[in-house]
Amino acid sequence: MTNSYLVKHSKQFPKGIIKLSEGCWTAVGYAASNVHMIEGRNSVSIIDTSESIGAARNILAEFKNLSSKPISRIIYSHGHRDHISGARVFYDGTQEIITSHKFTSDLVNVGGESTAPSLALKKRTEAQFGMGLDSKDRINIGCGPANRPMEGLGQGFIQPTTFIEKDQDINLDGIGARLIHAPGETEDHIVVWLPEKKLLFCGDNWYHSFPNLYAIRGTAYRDYGKWADSLEFLANLNADILAPGHTLPQFGSEKIREMLSSTRKMILFLMEKTTEGLNAGIPLDDIVTTLELPEDLSSKPWLKEFYGKLSWSARAYATGTLGWYDGNPTNLGTIGTVERAELMVDLAGGIEEIWNATKATPNLQWKLELCDILISLGQPAEKTKAETMRTLADDEINATARNAYLWEAKRLDQGK
Ligand SMILES: [Zn+2]
């Protein structure tokens, strides 16, 4: 394994409970996502619940060492499975579970994104997170640790009881808080702002990595413009403490403002450059292979592509705003993969020539594409493809790409 950058990124989610402010804590590194606790006069409030019953139990045990007060409410920052699937552990059957009226979830049978082809989504989720990979291959998942409890994964969700339609002040048993709609990674995001402590729980609208503007597990277009607007709003709160849904909390108003503002600036840059390219009629493949962040953005440690990725995000922006058609009438028609492969063989002068080119090329992306041609014609190129993906994974700083390469390589090795 040569990927030292991604190994270092694991320092963003060391397992432990971190004190944010008097009576406020966050549990980092127990699960893919963080769980937060706010202690009031006679009870505590919980923000998000992790992805599994096993992780939630471990977190609750730690929280009980800090406060023995009962849990009076649970708040879901948004509906993604990694934030709502440990609720049953914190829930006693009586508490309020508060979230946005736009609440939707990617958990199957809960609504929202579950209308996507669920088997494809499940398989791609497993690949993105490297589920089932050998421990030697697992570094992290970009937004959290690879090694974490899988017991009760996705099984502890409890339906929300209270849906807020407008931003509103709420009394967390003596602690003043404001619940604010802030669409970003999802349309249904709410953030929790404690003005007296200047403490902001921002959900997944910011974490210490390039944002997951597009998730390769499969996701509908995430509205980049709204996400950028929300980041501007959050930056202007001038929080002293920022507790994100993934990665370590941040302290210091200037630094937090810079983190939120530069992430917004990056999103706007990406939108602007992709739009410029599309307006100039530049093919999307050429837009995504030439797009680069300016140095003042690429140098930010929190914009490194450990979780999201610039090229994927530009592609998702183009297809999210204009759909799949790229304006070139050539692409109004389609040639299927087998027919295309047969045409390539004809062009190359025989299948042996495709094999020779596959073995000879130093371009690993091209090697994968040639392997796909061979495999589509029933040629035994699976081993070559698996080896190529493992080589790519070694130098890939994006955890989800790395996991997907290794997951698919393992599947091919097993003859699936
Ligand atoms: Zn999340």
Which residues are paired to 194 by β-bridges? Answer: 199
Distance 65 CA to ligand 1 centre (A): 25
Distance 307 CA to ligand 1 centre (A): 11
Residue-number span of the structural domain to which 342 is assigned:
333-413
- Does 99 score more than 70 pLDDT? yes
Is 365 contained in some domain?
yes
Is 274 contained in some domain?
no
- Averaged pLDDT, 55-73: 98
Domain boundary among 202, 232, 262: 262
Measure the CA–CA gap between 302 and 305, rounded to whole angstroms.
8
Looking at the structure, tell me whether residues 79 and 185 fall in a common domain.
yes
Distance 51 CA to ligand 1 centre (A): 9
- Averaged pLDDT, 185-203: 97
Is 374 contained in some domain?
yes
Residue 276 token pair = 């410029």
Distance 143 CA to ligand 1 centre (A): 8
Residue 53 token pair = 């019953």
Distance 262 CA to ligand 1 centre (A): 20
What does 27-89 look like in DSSP terms, one character per residue?
Answer: EESSSSS-EEEEE-SS-EEEE---SBHHHHHHHHHHHHHH--SPEEEEE-SS--HHHHTTHHH
- Does 160 score more than 80 pLDDT? yes
Is 249 contained in some domain?
yes
3: confidence class by pLDDT, cuts 50, 70, 90 = confident
Looking at the structure, tell me whether residues 337 and 255 fall in a common domain.
no
Looking at the structure, tell me whether residues 218 and 342 fall in a common domain.
no
How far apart are the two ends of the chain, measured CA to CA in Å?
25
Pairing, β 96-100 against β 71-75: parallel
Looking at the structure, tell me whether residues 8 and 111 fall in a common domain.
yes
Looking at the structure, tell me whether residues 108 and 208 fall in a common domain.
yes
Is 166 contained in some domain?
yes
Looking at the structure, tell me whether residues 206 and 61 fall in a common domain.
yes
Distance 172 CA to ligand 1 centre (A): 23
Looking at the structure, tell me whether residues 134 and 22 fall in a common domain.
yes
If DSSP codes are grouped into helix, strand and coil, which group holds residue 342?
A: helix
Looking at the structure, tell me whether residues 243 and 339 fall in a common domain.
no
Cβ atoms of 147 and 17 within 8 Å: the answer is no
Q: How would you label 273-304 residue by residue, b for 16+ Cβ within 10 Å and e otherwise?
A: bbbebbeeeeebeebbeebebeeebeebebbb
Distance 166 CA to ligand 1 centre (A): 23
Q: What is the pTM of this model?
A: 0.95
Distance 17 CA to ligand 1 centre (A): 18
Count of residues making up the chain = 416
Looking at the structure, tell me whether residues 258 and 360 fall in a common domain.
no
Distance 246 CA to ligand 1 centre (A): 6
pLDDT at 122: 87
Distance 415 CA to ligand 1 centre (A): 33
Domain boundary among 241, 262, 283: 262
Of 181, 196, 237, the C-alpha closest to 23 is 196
Distance 196 CA to ligand 1 centre (A): 26
Looking at the structure, tell me whether residues 108 and 246 fall in a common domain.
yes
pLDDT at 416: 79
Looking from the CA of 189 toward its CB, the CA atoms found within 13 Å total 23
Domain of 183, CATH number, reads: 3.60.15.30
The maximal CA–CA distance of the chain, rounded, in angstroms, is 79
Distance 48 CA to ligand 1 centre (A): 10
Distance 111 CA to ligand 1 centre (A): 17
pLDDT at 332: 97
Is 45 contained in some domain?
yes
Measure the CA–CA gap between 321 and 316, rounded to whole angstroms.
8
Whole-angstrom CA distances from 156 to 32, 86, 97, 384 are 15, 5, 13, 41
Cβ atoms of 234 and 205 within 8 Å: the answer is yes
pLDDT at 2: 65
> Residue 97: what residue type?
I
Distance 194 CA to ligand 1 centre (A): 21
How many domains in the chain?
2
Domain boundary among 262, 285, 306: 262
Looking at the structure, tell me whether residues 176 and 70 fall in a common domain.
yes
pLDDT at 121: 86
Distance 342 CA to ligand 1 centre (A): 43
Mean pLDDT of the residues in the chain:
95
pLDDT at 112: 46
Is 234 contained in some domain?
yes
- Sorted by sequence, the CB contacts under 8 Å of residue 134 that are 6+ apart come out as 410
> Residue 218: what residue type?
G
- Averaged pLDDT, 153-167: 96
Pairing, β 190-194 against β 71-75: unpaired
Measure the CA–CA gap between 189 and 389, rounded to whole angstroms.
35
Domain of 351, CATH number, reads: 1.25.40.880
Looking at the structure, tell me whether residues 34 and 130 fall in a common domain.
yes
Question: What is the DSSP secondary structure assignment for residue 281, as one 8-state letter?
Answer: T
Is 173 contained in some domain?
yes
Distance 50 CA to ligand 1 centre (A): 9
Distance 33 CA to ligand 1 centre (A): 6
Measure the CA–CA gap between 17 and 57, rounded to whole angstroms.
14
- Averaged pLDDT, 65-93: 97
Greater confidence (104 vs 405) lies with 405
Residue 28: phi and psi, rounded to 5, are: -115, 140
Distance 58 CA to ligand 1 centre (A): 18
Which H helix or E strand runs over 381? none
Report, in this order, helix, strand and coil percent for the chain, each rounded to 5.
45, 15, 40
Looking from the CA of 117 toward its CB, the CA atoms found within 13 Å total 6
- Averaged pLDDT, 397-404: 97
